[in-house]
Structure 1
Amino acid sequence: MDPDPRTLLQALVRERGWTYSDFLRAYEAAARALAAEDGMSPPSATVAEQTFRRWTSGRTKTLPAKPAPQVLERMFGYGARPLLSPPPEMPLQAAPNHVNALNESEIAMTARDAAAHAGDAAAHSIADMTLEQLHDDVAALARTYNRTSPIEVYIRAKRLLATAQSALEHTRVPRQQAEAYLAAGQSAALLSAISFDLGSLPSAVSLSRTAALYGKVIEHGPLQAYAHGALAFLSFWSGRPSESIRYVSKAQAFGGLGDTALTRLSVIEARAYGHLGNRVAAEEAVRKALEQSTGKRDDLHDDIGGEFAFPSDRVAMSNATTYLLLGDANGAEESAEQALLLLGAQPEGERPLLISTQASVDLARARLLRGELDGVQDALDPAFAVPTEWRGAGTLERMAEVRSGLCHPDFSDSVEARTLGGRIEEYSAAATAHRLGAGTPLAIES
Structure 2
Amino acid sequence: MRSEPRTLLAKLCERDNLTYRHFDRLFIQTGVRLLGHNPDNPTCGETQFRRWTGGKLAGLPGPETCQILEAIWPGYTAEQMFGPPPADDPQAPAFDLEERVQMTAREAHDGADASAAASISDNTIDELRDRVVTLARGYHTMPAAGAYEVADDLRREIERQRDRTQIPVQQQTLMILNGQTAALLAVAAFDLGYFPSARTLARTAAVYGESTRFAPLQAYADGTLAYIAYHSGEPNEALAKAQRALSYGGLGDIAQRRLHAIKARAYAHLGDVASARRAIHVSEEAGRDVFDDLHDTVGGEFGFSAERLAMSNSTTALLMGDAEQAELAASRALALLVEKAKDEQSTHVRAGAAADLAQARLLADNVEGAAVALTPIWEVPPEQRKTGIVVRTARIGRTLAQPRYHGAQLPTELREQIEDFTRLSPPYRLGPPVPLLAITS
* TM-score after normalising by structure 1: 0.71
Rounded to whole Å, the distance in 2 between the matches of 1:440 and 1:195 is 17
Equivalent residue, structure 1, for 2:157 = 163
Tell me the CA shift for residue 122 of structure 1. 12
CA contact (8 A) 2:387 2:427 kept: yes
- Structure 1, unaligned runs of 5 or more: 1-120
Inter-partner Cα distance in structure 2 for 1:344 and 1:295: 25
After the TM superposition, which residues 237-256 of structure 1 pair with which residues of structure 2 at under 5 Å, given as runs? 237-256=231-250
SS at match of 2:349: helix
Structure 1 residues 334-372: Cα deviation after superposition (integer angstroms, max 9, x where no partner): 000000000111122221111111111111111111111
Secondary structure in structure 1 of the residue aligned to 2:367 = coil
Are 1:416 and 2:413 matched, yes or no?
Answer: no
Structure 1 residues 404, 123: closer, same or farther in 2, change over 3 A? closer
Deviation at 1:150, TM superposition (A): 2.1
Contact 2:116-2:163 at 8 Å conserved across structures: no
Tell me the residue number matched to 2:280. Answer: 286
1:270 corresponds to which of 264, 268, 289: 264
Describe the shift of the 1:292–1:247 C-alpha distance in structure 2 as closer, same or farther (beyond 3 A): farther
User: Which residue in the other structure is 1:439 paired with?
Assistant: 436
1:319 equivalenced with 2:322 (yes/no): no
SS of 1:374's partner is: helix
Q: Quote the residue 1:385 is aligned against.
A: 379
Are positions 1:332 and 2:317 aligned together? no
SS in 2 for 1:375: helix
Q: 2:162 & 2:154 partners in 1: Cα distance?
A: 12
Q: Point out the more displaced range, 233-242 or 145-154.
A: 145-154
8 Å Cα contact 1:216-1:224 kept in structure 2: yes
Judge conservation of contact 1:324–1:366 (CA < 8 Å) in 2.
yes
Residue 148 of structure 1 and its aligned partner are, at CA, apart by 2.0
CA distance in 1, matches of 2:192, 2:401: 27
In the alignment, structure 1 residue 210 sits paired with structure 2 residue 204: yes
Q: What CA deviation, in whole Å up to 9, does each residue of 1:186-243 have, x standing for no partner?
A: 0000010011111111111110000000111111000000000000110001101011
Aligned match of 2:303 in 295, 306, 309? 309
Alignment-derived partner of residue 126 in structure 1: 120
**Which string of whole-angstrom CA distances, capped at 9 and with x for unpartnered residues, describes residues 126-172 of structure 1?**
11111110001000110111012322211111011111211221111
**Correspondence for 1:72:** none
1:76-119 CA distance string (max 9 Å, x none) = xxxxxxxxxxxxxxxxxxxxxxxxxxxxxxxxxxxxxxxxxxxx
Structural RMSD (CA): 1.5
> How far apart, in 2, do the equivalents of 1:122 and 1:434 lie?
40
Residue identity matched to 2:306: S
Q: 2:208 and 2:256 mapped to 1: Cα distance?
A: 21
Aligned to 2:339: 345
Q: Name 1:101's counterpart in structure 2.
A: none
Amino acid at match of 1:128: D
Equivalent-residue separation in structure 2 for 1:151 and 1:244 (angstroms): 26
> Distance between the aligned counterparts of 1:441 and 1:195, measured in 2?
15
- Contact 1:321–1:362 under 8 Å retained in 2: yes
Name the CA distance, whole Å, in 2 between partners of 1:423 and 1:356.
18
Aligned pairs for 1:147-158 (under 5 A) are 147-158=141-152
In structure 1, give the amino acid aligned to 2:326.
Answer: A
